[in-house]
Structure 1
Amino acid sequence: MDRGMSVSLWCEEVEDEQCQDQGQTEAPVHGHITGSPQLRAPWDPTVSGHRVIQRLLHVEERYMPSMLYVTLIQRDPERREELTKWALEVCCDCGCDEAVFPLSVSLLDRFLSASLSLPVSLYCLAAGCILIASKLTECDNVTADTLCAAAEYSFQPCNLREMERIILATLRWDTAAVTPQDFLPHFLASVEQRGAADTDECEEERLSTLRRHSDTLAAMCACDSRFLGAPPSLVAAASLNCALRGLGNKGPSQLAHMSEALAELCQTDLAVLQCYSEMIEYALRQRLRSGHQQGPMEKDEEVENERPGTPTDMRDIDF
């Protein structure tokens, strides 16, 4: 490498005039500039299994926030929950990949756990975590301008990039954290192999519904500070366990067998898994109750005729 070449590790975002003109002439879709569709690799069963799960279980402890931070947050959880809900809305509005939100929340908690001090703008901190998570998991990441607009320009792009540098420096660039969404496909594949899924023509659709509901429950847990100290593997197993019970197409003996399999996969006691599953269902009922108090949401006739896919209808969750 030429020693005279200037090399910077900072993730600079400098758009040329052509890109800016294109962004003005073409309407962005969910916060991304329109362009060629993204190509994603399909699920590869050869990179799953017991060995991969064991590796994830070994690594997840490295990215857990400190118990002091967990205790402080759980004493006054409203501020964190408000921040995570805003991050979830931004990720949804920008059409981010499903892995962006849980990773951004993990970065947020780890940063606050390491510093134990609040920055000037908490929304700038949350936006910086979303920006880093998007760069790690997406080909076309969400832009700084989009995040500033989502925060109604309470901070400028230069402030956001400076916050990004502070986060990276605090976390020592160790940003690829393990989240519940990393465990879900492996848990689902293992449970499927043990007979959780029937071999019929609706199998693929049912598995897709099961994964979608599990992702939604795991995202709800990321917003709820009561699950802050729980390992990602336990949150993933409990979310999948709730989704399995909510589909209503398995008997009690089959559900008990699947719960035992999930407890074995995440290396926890069955009673602990059942406890967290009940906590998730209770938190879900709380959110549905608060959503109904604020006012019922209008639904299309097609949605009204659909059968709920979880113990309580996932479509009614108001994050």
Structure 2
Amino acid sequence: MDRSMSVSLWCEEAEEDQSQTETKAEARGRTEEPSSQLRAAWDPTVSGRRVIQRLLHVEERYAPSVLYITLIQREPERREELAKWALEVCCECGCDEAVFPLSVSLLDRFLSASLSLPVSPYCLAAGCILIASKLAECDNVTADTLCAAAEYSFHPSNLREMERVVLATVRWDTAAVTPQDFLPHFLASVEQRGDGGGRGAPEEALRSTLRRHSDTLAAMCACDSRFLGAPPSLVAAASLNCALRGLGNKGPAQLEVICEALAELCQTDLVVLQCYSDMIEYALRQRLSSGLQQSPMQKEEEEVEDERPGTPTDMREIDF
């Protein structure tokens, strides 16, 4: 390589005017069909105990500090508000399932290092979503979309500056381990033990439902500060265990065997896993009961009023 050549790892993104962006999008829509993202099929050779052991070893590096966990659990409202807002934005933008937990991990790591919120907390949350989307998706969320989700409380230039600040704070180590990284490996391990059924259409549908419910419960845990200090592997195992309970297609003996297998996979005590599973079920009942306690007048107002990510609400993606 020519040593005189200047090499830069920074991706300079030009901020286009919104009208120019819309014009280009309309031109693309007239000339070509919308592109669908293709996902690679599950490869069983990249799963197993060796991969799980590696994830268990790496997850400790991305854990927030004990001081940050203590401070947040004393006053969790602000952090939970930002996490719920990030969840709504990711859902409305149709982000990949890995974007939201990764953005919350970046948020916690940044706050753990700074121990203070910036002037615009939603700009911080949007910057974490932008970084996570760039890392996990081919077509990432645009800066203008995130600004619109925050009702333009900040400008794209502010968002890009916040992106630089977050990257500098986490030292560009953005590929954190989240519960969603463990879930497919735990599911594959449970299936290998003969508890997941065969490969027919009903079993595939059941596996898809189980994965979707587990993802939903893990996302709920990311919004709940009570699970902030829990390792991602434990959250993933407890979410999968609760999803299996909720489906109701396993007997007590089968559920006990699967729970023991999950505890062994995430290298935790069986009692600890059962305790976190009960905590998740309790948090789920709280979410559902808080939604049912709304008056009919409030529900009618919510139906009439256009919901915006700028006003965070409780999780509504639970489809048990």
Q: TM-score range by the shorter chain?
A: 0.7 to 0.9
Instruction: Answer whether contact 1:213 1:243 (CA < 8 A) is retained.
Output: yes
Amino acid at match of 1:279: M
Amino acid at match of 2:318: M
Provide the C-alpha distance between the structure 2 equivalents of 1:314 and 1:25, rounded to a whole number of angstroms: 37
Provide the C-alpha distance between the structure 2 equivalents of 1:3 and 1:201, rounded to a whole number of angstroms: 57
Provide the C-alpha distance between the structure 2 equivalents of 1:34 and 1:86, rounded to a whole number of angstroms: 32
Provide the C-alpha distance between the structure 2 equivalents of 1:163 and 1:19, rounded to a whole number of angstroms: 22
Q: Normalized against structure 1, the TM-score is what?
A: 0.88
The aligned residue for residue 203 of structure 1 is 203
SS of corresponding position for 1:57: helix
Provide the C-alpha distance between the structure 2 equivalents of 1:23 and 1:295, rounded to a whole number of angstroms: 42
Is the aligned partner of 1:142 residue 2:146? no
Amino acid at match of 1:314: I
Instruction: Answer whether contact 1:10 1:165 (CA < 8 A) is retained.
Output: no
Amino acid at match of 1:228: L
The aligned residue for residue 312 of structure 2 is none
Instruction: Answer whether contact 2:82 2:125 (CA < 8 A) is retained.
Output: yes
The aligned residue for residue 43 of structure 1 is 42
CA drift at 1:6: 4.9
Is the aligned partner of 1:315 residue 2:314? no
Provide the C-alpha distance between the structure 1 equivalents of 2:4 and 2:34, rounded to a whole number of angstroms: 35
Give unpaired runs (5+ residues) of structure 2. 301-316
Amino acid at match of 1:110: R
Instruction: Answer whether contact 2:213 2:319 (CA < 8 A) is retained.
Output: no
Provide the C-alpha distance between the structure 1 equivalents of 2:276 and 2:65, rounded to a whole number of angstroms: 20
CA drift at 1:5: 5.1
The aligned residue for residue 283 of structure 1 is 283
CA drift at 1:34: 7.9
Is the aligned partner of 1:271 residue 2:275? no
Higher relative contact order (CA 8 A, sep 6+): 2
Structure 2 CA distance for partners of 1:201 and 1:93, relative to 1, 3 Å: closer
Matches within 5 A, 1:217-256: 217-256=217-256
Structure 2 CA distance for partners of 1:201 and 1:255, relative to 1, 3 Å: same
Provide the C-alpha distance between the structure 1 equivalents of 2:214 and 2:222, rounded to a whole number of angstroms: 12
Matches within 5 A, 1:18-33: 21-23=23-25
Instruction: Answer whether contact 2:59 2:232 (CA < 8 A) is retained.
Output: yes
Q: Normalized against structure 2, the TM-score is what?
A: 0.88
1:182-219 superposed Cα distances (whole Å, 9 cap, x missing partner): 00000000011112122354111100000000000000
1:121-174 superposed Cα distances (whole Å, 9 cap, x missing partner): 100000000000000000000000100000000000000000000000011000
Provide the C-alpha distance between the structure 2 equivalents of 1:5 and 1:248, rounded to a whole number of angstroms: 62
Give unpaired runs (5+ residues) of structure 1. 28-32, 299-312
Amino acid at match of 1:163: M
1:29-78 superposed Cα distances (whole Å, 9 cap, x missing partner): xxxx9842112211111100000000000000000000000000000001
The aligned residue for residue 174 of structure 1 is 173
1:255-308 superposed Cα distances (whole Å, 9 cap, x missing partner): 00000000000000000000000000000000001111125779xxxxxxxxxx
Instruction: Answer whether contact 2:110 2:166 (CA < 8 A) is retained.
Output: yes
Amino acid at match of 1:13: E
Provide the C-alpha distance between the structure 2 equivalents of 1:215 and 1:183, rounded to a whole number of angstroms: 11
Provide the C-alpha distance between the structure 2 equivalents of 1:86 and 1:26, rounded to a whole number of angstroms: 31
Instruction: Answer whether contact 2:15 2:156 (CA < 8 A) is retained.
Output: no
CA drift at 1:253: 0.5
Structure 2 CA distance for partners of 1:263 and 1:171, relative to 1, 3 Å: same
Structure 2 CA distance for partners of 1:36 and 1:201, relative to 1, 3 Å: closer
Structure 2 CA distance for partners of 1:2 and 1:145, relative to 1, 3 Å: farther
CA drift at 1:12: 2.7
Provide the C-alpha distance between the structure 2 equivalents of 1:49 and 1:10, rounded to a whole number of angstroms: 36
Provide the C-alpha distance between the structure 1 equivalents of 2:226 and 2:11, rounded to a whole number of angstroms: 34
CA drift at 1:244: 0.6
Provide the C-alpha distance between the structure 2 equivalents of 1:25 and 1:152, rounded to a whole number of angstroms: 26
Matches within 5 A, 1:117-196: 117-196=116-195
The aligned residue for residue 97 of structure 2 is 98
> RMSD in angstroms over aligned alpha carbons?
2.2
Instruction: Answer whether contact 2:183 2:211 (CA < 8 A) is retained.
Output: yes
SS of corresponding position for 1:215: helix
SS of corresponding position for 1:195: coil
- Count of residue pairs the alignment pairs up: 297
Amino acid at match of 1:210: L
What's the % identity of the aligned pairs? 81
Structure 2 CA distance for partners of 1:214 and 1:224, relative to 1, 3 Å: same
- Following TM superposition, the consecutive aligned residue runs of length 4 or more in structure 1 with deviations greater than 6 angstroms are none
The aligned residue for residue 304 of structure 1 is none
